[in-house]
Amino acid sequence: MLDEVKSQPTKYVYLQKCYVHIEKVAKGNEFIDLLIKYSVSSKLFMIYKIYKGQVSVMRQVFFSFEYNKDVWRASQIRKMNVVSKSSTFSDNDWETVKSKSEASIKKWINEQMAMRSCIVVLIGKTTSTRKWVKYEIEKAYELKKGIVGIYIHGLKNENGDQTEKGSNPFYNVFTNNGERLSKYVTCYDPPYKSSKFVYDDISNNIDDLIENAIENKPPQ
């Protein structure tokens, strides 16, 4: 296996071979050595950590976003299949929940958030202005969840359009000590203009972003 990978050290071939032979590779030190040698993607490093028992296979995550404007972009994140299928996308029940009372909406958010290890805020043009996005962030902080933001303005919507970069949604949320949450929370902005490249970049980095958020939670 090691010789085969060395002879074809492209990321694609390496990815394919590691998935096929993961049980054999993960038993020794070859996998991590190759990751270092060829600077392979963070996704493969996550696979290594999974098989070493350092992280769970897939995290249960609460995805927060502006439904009306960004549901199509958020659905692209869902299709990456990088988190547990039981993770919450705010649109899962949102059409039903939003017609209910404010107390019912809060109850739904609270119950969903309690079951997740991290909130991922998918940031579009006006996400930072949304009342329920702010509430979800505040609830995640209260429950000591991991918190991270990812800018998705570079992804196309159902009409094939990108949008403008929005403001940091954590800027107007405060810690118990009165500091802005934006001081402690990462907002990842993919460094590409092409929607395809933005998609690929988020797919390659979202695992690490979630794990880093869980390991480095804002101070209470």
pLDDT tens-digit series, residues 191-218: 999 999 999 999 989 988 998 999 999 9
Q: What is the pLDDT of residue 142?
A: 97
90 and 11: one domain?
Answer: no
Close Cβ partners of 36 (under 8 Å, ≥ 6 residues apart): none
CATH classification at residue 208 = 3.40.50.450
Ramachandran bin of 53, using left for φ above 0, alpha for ψ from -120 to 50, beta for the remaining angles: left
126 and 39: one domain?
Answer: no
104 and 33: one domain?
Answer: no
Rounded-to-integer distance, Cα 149 and Cα 137, Å = 10
75 and 112: one domain?
Answer: yes
Whether the CB-CB separation of 200 and 194 falls below 8 Å is answered with no
**Per the domain annotation, does 44 fall within a domain?**
yes
Rounded-to-integer distance, Cα 81 and Cα 29, Å = 27
46 and 136: one domain?
Answer: no
74 and 123: one domain?
Answer: yes
Q: How many domains does the chain have?
A: 2
103 and 190: one domain?
Answer: yes
pLDDT of 38 over the 80 cut: no
Q: What is the pTM of this model?
A: 0.73
pLDDT of 48 over the 70 cut: no
| Beta sheet of 61-64, edge-to-edge order | 88-89, 61-64, 118-123, 146-151, 187-188
